[in-house]
Structure 1
Amino acid sequence: MRKNKVDIITLGCSKNLVDSEQLMRQFAVNGYKVEHDPHKINGEIVVVNTCGFIGDAQEESIEMILELGQAKKQGKIGKLFVMGCLSERFLHDLEKELPEVDHFYGKFNWKELISDLGKAYHQELAYDRILTTPKHYAYLKIGEGCNRTCSYCSIPIITGAYQSRPMEDLVNEVKLLVGRGVKEFQLIAQDLTFYGVDLYKRMALPELVERISDVPGVEWIRLHYGYPTHFPLDLLRVMRERENVCKYMDIALQHISDNMLKLMRRNITKAETYELIERMRSEVPGIHLRTTLMVGHPGETDADFEELLEFVRKARFERMGAFAYSHEEGTYAYKHYTDDIPQEVKQERLDTLMRIQERISLDVNRSKIDKVFKVMLDREEEDFFVGRTEYDSPEVDPEVLIRKDQVLTPGEFYQVQIEDAQAFELYGKALLK
């Protein structure tokens, strides 16, 4: 066990990651040595930032806590703290079941951890953070919570109502990060498109993106987690007009049949969904759409699933993920529906859906062969330099593998000609002047 060392482990989404980065900054200003997801966990203090969204994520969080609890008993680590969505959602159960944890904090009160240790929480550094990402990109969390009422989703239970961050604070944070070398910003929230309704009584995402786009040094802005209902269409104009706003939209659609959209309480129809996709593609030529779909929600018939498959074939999403329904305690679906789709059927539907998408992804990537793209170089590996185009978000999207016959620098942009393609990877060479 290393004295004065803090190990922070982040599970779940990039929104959790931002919280961890802010906590790291508070520990550092109080004189601690801080490591994130360390190879060797041996800190005097260990903090696990948990995910509580669906069963698999909850299980991963519990297993990590149990493993660290054992390490604590063996004297390999000191105090063990747990924060985040899992403890926000199941606080009292966890306190009873996991006595090896010194203290549990929720999604929003984790700042008390610093003062509970007898240290000062520096409010002036509330949105300052130690980046865990490569120094050239960062996640920018523009809001917390969610006002939607989707049947299957536990997020509103965990996070409460939507809370937008003021534009001035966000623009100032961007300026601060640009000053530290950040060139690329991934805008994140549970629902980007609701931004501003609580603060400004209007959907203000287009204005926010324009204001961030105006900050000198911002090279790329990429948008994650939009919601299709009442989509702020002026955002398409911003995306079309602004060179540094990536032609990329991550918008979770979940399903397409009117039957399922109604059962899921999505407040949108099949026709409206198709119309929105068509408008996005027509107003922003070349846009790459990422979506998430769900299979196995209660009431999903074979006909509903066939409709979903046809939707994927027609829409030809450049990026797509999918997951099987999880019957989550406290949700509308848990209270009002029976989890009537067998697990093996859910898995079979999921596999079928992803096989179709893999073929589409291969076609999309092959269409890029011989073309030249602006690529951000993320890192150097043994055989390749690895980068991304504006159509690729870190961690979830295809990467560009660049031949190592030239000297390139991670964190810089290059023009790259694509020479070959697989379903989830592109291969290219840098065009140096």
Structure 2
Amino acid sequence: MAETERKPAIFLLSLGCSKNTVDSERLMAQALASGLTFTDDADEADIILINTCGFIEDAKEESINETLAAIGKKEDGGVREVYVMGCLVELYRNELAEEIPEVDGWFGTRELPEVLVAIGAKYREELFDRRELLTPPHYAFLKISEGCNRHCSFCSIPKIRGPYVSQPVEQLLREAALLQEQGVKELNLIAQDISVYGYDLYGKSALNDLTLRLSDMGFDWIRLLYAYPLNFPLEVIDTMRERRNVCNYLDMPLQHINDRILRSMQRGIGRKATEQLIDDIRQRNPDIRLRTTMIAGYPGETRGEFEELLDFVRQTRFDRLGCFPYRHEEHAPAYALDDTVSDEEKEERVSELMELQEGISASLNRKFEDQTLKVLIDRIEENVAYGRTEYDAPEVDNDVIIEIGDEVAKEGDFRQVIVEDSTAYELFGRIGEKRNKKQQ
């Protein structure tokens, strides 16, 4: 390429989960270091690059539709090249290449150097820690490992991402320091499974050590996401209680509670041990808020087994809960089972469980009324600020909606907010002085 020739402008579309977001941020940092530029407008791009998701059917469809839309722009002459990378490619590379030959290159989840070469950049090992944030500048995700060694029957992640590989503690501390220099105040620790972080490197769990060392760096909030219930290191819960900047929050997807279904799911833990774990967590840290995820309509799930799940949720009163209908995934072990529950019944069960959870969430949120909470402001629209408490992860949990009026507030601020009203998934309040000692 001649020195005077303009570098191509790239439109990057990052789909799927926060792990994908980190991958896209790494790619952007490498590409920028090679002198490439990015645009937020696909119509102004020379290259469209799509980082796909392949985890659930809706995400797969979105990835395909966005790819076809990019091909349309290429055929119209506005875009020169289209490249597709990520999880969907890892599962269906040959089929996709045959069905959509207009795409200029397909790349899996472990081919960052090859992607960079295709778009005219060079991979530099010394820039591994660098990321160009796609999140608001005050929070970021820290991916502490790659891959997964679990064999959950409904999940294709081990095939997509490979075996579990922990990132060394020192490397994560370097990456965290760079994020802090960029203005990050909230660090969200993510992985396919944070519970077994460190076993492959150190022969034991290193999650608590990592959390303590990140806490020592002075981040305002450190949050733990995606913990597997088996082998979870309970000392982390003590750290949450003892360290003000480690959020009293844990995301631990349980998927179900019926013993037969848990065995079929190959979760490695049954109802009794799950209930004991939750009890231990709450006893160690009474102020903790628990998020979980459930699956409804798993193959063979009877009405009675679903009722057991409902009763468990009713009794346990999770602070945050999501539920998905089971979908047959041809690259997951459960694909060999008969998908016995109709799609209509699956959706009805999801709705029933979420209606139950809505009532629980509304009741729990009412307890916040008349309290003063520390809130991180994520965005401001006109005279309304939208923020989160330490009990709410970005993008998935509750909003705190604040009428700011004449108050001076900006995105990334921490403010004390007096909660005046609530719904199942929202708190409403105003900026004010701290009134109760319990909330930080």
Alignment of 1:313-352 (within 5 A): 313-335=314-336, 337-352=337-352
Contact kept in structure 2, 1:3 and 1:43, CA below 8 Å: no
Partner of 1:225: 226
More off after superposition, 379-388 vs 283-292: 379-388
Residue 368 (str. 1) matches residue 368 (str. 2): yes
Alignment of 1:60-209 (within 5 A): 60-209=62-211
Q: CA deviation at 1:4?
A: 2.5
Q: CA deviation at 1:382?
A: 2.4
CA distance, structure 1, for counterparts of residue 216 and residue 396 of structure 2? 27
Contact kept in structure 1, 2:197 and 2:206, CA below 8 Å: yes
CA distance, structure 1, for counterparts of residue 139 and residue 95 of structure 2? 38
Q: CA deviation at 1:256?
A: 0.5
Q: CA deviation at 1:127?
A: 2.0
Q: Deviations 1:190-237 (Å, cap 9, x if unpaired)?
A: 001111111111111111111111113x11000110000121111111
Partner of 1:26: 30
CA distance, structure 1, for counterparts of residue 196 and residue 46 of structure 2? 41
Q: Deviations 1:90-130 (Å, cap 9, x if unpaired)?
A: 11111111111100000010221222344322221122011
Partner of 2:302: 301
Other structure's SS at 2:341 match = coil
CA distance, structure 1, for counterparts of residue 257 and residue 285 of structure 2? 22
Contact kept in structure 1, 2:229 and 2:274, CA below 8 Å: yes
CA distance, structure 2, for counterparts of residue 262 and residue 96 of structure 1? 38
Alignment of 1:212-291 (within 5 A): 212-216=214-218, 218-291=219-292
Contact kept in structure 1, 2:15 and 2:53, CA below 8 Å: yes
Q: CA deviation at 1:6?
A: 0.7
Other structure's SS at 2:192 match = coil
CA distance, structure 2, for counterparts of residue 140 and residue 120 of structure 1? 23
Q: CA deviation at 1:166?
A: 0.3
Contact kept in structure 2, 1:105 and 1:113, CA below 8 Å: yes
Contact kept in structure 1, 2:187 and 2:222, CA below 8 Å: yes
Identity of matched residues, % = 48
Q: CA deviation at 1:383?
A: 4.0
CA distance, structure 2, for counterparts of residue 203 and residue 77 of structure 1? 48
Aligned residue pair count: 428
CA distance, structure 1, for counterparts of residue 152 and residue 256 of structure 2? 12
Other structure's SS at 2:8 match = strand
Other structure's SS at 2:359 match = helix
CA distance, structure 2, for counterparts of residue 40 and residue 90 of structure 1? 25
For residues 204 and 188 of structure 1, do their structure 2 counterparts lie closer, same or farther at Cα, with a shift above 3 Å needed?
same
Other structure's SS at 1:246 match = strand
Partner of 2:15: 11
State the TM-score, normalized to the length of structure 1: 0.96
Contact kept in structure 2, 1:375 and 1:390, CA below 8 Å: yes
Structure 1 spans left out of the alignment, 5+ residues:
none
More off after superposition, 317-326 vs 378-387: 378-387
CA distance, structure 2, for counterparts of residue 123 and residue 5 of structure 1? 23
Q: Which amino acid aligns with 1:111?
A: P
Q: Deviations 1:377-432 (Å, cap 9, x if unpaired)?
A: 11111241111100011110011111122111221111111011011111111125
Structure 2 spans left out of the alignment, 5+ residues:
1-5, 435-440
Q: Which amino acid aligns with 2:12?
A: I
Contact kept in structure 1, 2:89 and 2:107, CA below 8 Å: yes
Residue 292 (str. 1) matches residue 293 (str. 2): yes
Partner of 1:58: 60
State the TM-score, normalized to the length of structure 2: 0.95
CA distance, structure 2, for counterparts of residue 26 and residue 394 of structure 1? 25
For residues 118 and 347 of structure 1, do their structure 2 counterparts lie closer, same or farther at Cα, with a shift above 3 Å needed?
closer
More off after superposition, 56-65 vs 245-254: 56-65
CA distance, structure 2, for counterparts of residue 27 and residue 230 of structure 1? 39
CA distance, structure 2, for counterparts of residue 119 and residue 427 of structure 1? 47
Alignment of 1:396-411 (within 5 A): 396-405=396-405, 406-411=407-412
Contact kept in structure 2, 1:3 and 1:44, CA below 8 Å: no
Other structure's SS at 1:149 match = coil
Contact kept in structure 1, 2:387 and 2:399, CA below 8 Å: yes
Other structure's SS at 1:192 match = coil
CA distance, structure 2, for counterparts of residue 324 and residue 408 of structure 1? 40
CA distance, structure 2, for counterparts of residue 288 and residue 258 of structure 1? 25
Other structure's SS at 1:88 match = helix
